[in-house]
């Protein structure tokens, strides 16, 4: 199972890297304007009601897709996100809104995903939606996931998935894609740059 997850992460990272390479072309770092063709607006449910990406215009948003029954990958990514936030000064942290989106709405209702997200940091927002909504949004963010039955297990199934943190700038455009192998220090640097 772990080897399959690692393979999925590697394949999705390569596919995303190739796609991003074709999008960025010969842009210099001075003129780079992010990835406007990747991601975009969404409407999902939190435990406090409807949430849209555009609700956070003027803030930096970190987006991570996962699920609450994930045994390791999601825990690592969300812990890294929380740790990176703690290294930043308060005025920068207040400019950042972390969001966790489940792709397992069958088990992750709004209350469950909210409690899970806030476990890592009280500022995190957890979101869910219908399977069709989640699939459409994940496709636009190049997120790969698949339900894998587990015979003889109390959890019935797992979700194999890719693992990236998307950092959107204050205009809602993806500025940086942080891969699973990137360090907490690298993530903190990306967040700091996005708040400037």
Instruction: Give the relative orientation of helices 73-86 and 110-120 as an angle to the nearest 10 degrees.
Output: 50
Range of the domain at 42: 2-194
pTM of the model: 0.83
Regions of the chain where pLDDT drops below 50: 2-11, 13-30
Q: What is the number of domains present in the chain?
A: 1
Give pLDDT tens digits for 90-127.
999 999 999 999 999 999 999 999 999 999 999 999 99
- What was the pLDDT predicted at 43? 97
Contact (CB, 8 A) for 42 and 79: no
- What was the pLDDT predicted at 153? 72
Residue 147, domain CATH: 3.40.30.10
Contact (CB, 8 A) for 134 and 101: yes
């Amino acid at each position: 199972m772990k080897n399959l997850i690692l393979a999925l992460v590697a394949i999705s990272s390569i596919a995303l890297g190739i796609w991003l390479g074709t999008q960025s072309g010969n842009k210099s770092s001075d003129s780079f304007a992010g990835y406007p063709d990747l991601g975009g607006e969404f409407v999902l449910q939190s435990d406090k009601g409807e949430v849209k990406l555009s609700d956070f215009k003027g803030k930096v948003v970190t987006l991570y897709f996962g699920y609450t029954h994930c045994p390791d990958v999601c825990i690592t990514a969300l812990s890294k996100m929380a740790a990176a936030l703690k290294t930043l000064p308060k005025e920068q942290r207040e400019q950042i809104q972390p969001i966790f989106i489940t792709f397992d709405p069958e088990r992750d209702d709004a209350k469950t995903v909210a409690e899970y997200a806030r476990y890592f940091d009280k500022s995190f927002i957890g979101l869910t939606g219908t399977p069709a909504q989640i699939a459409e949004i994940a496709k636009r963010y190049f997120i790969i996931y698949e339900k894998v039955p587990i015979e003889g297990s109390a959890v019935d199934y797992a979700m194999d998935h890719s693992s990236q943190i998307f950092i959107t700038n204050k205009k809602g455009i993806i500025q940086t894609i942080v891969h699973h192998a990137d360090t907490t220090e690298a993530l903190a640097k990306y967040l700091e740059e996005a708040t400037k």
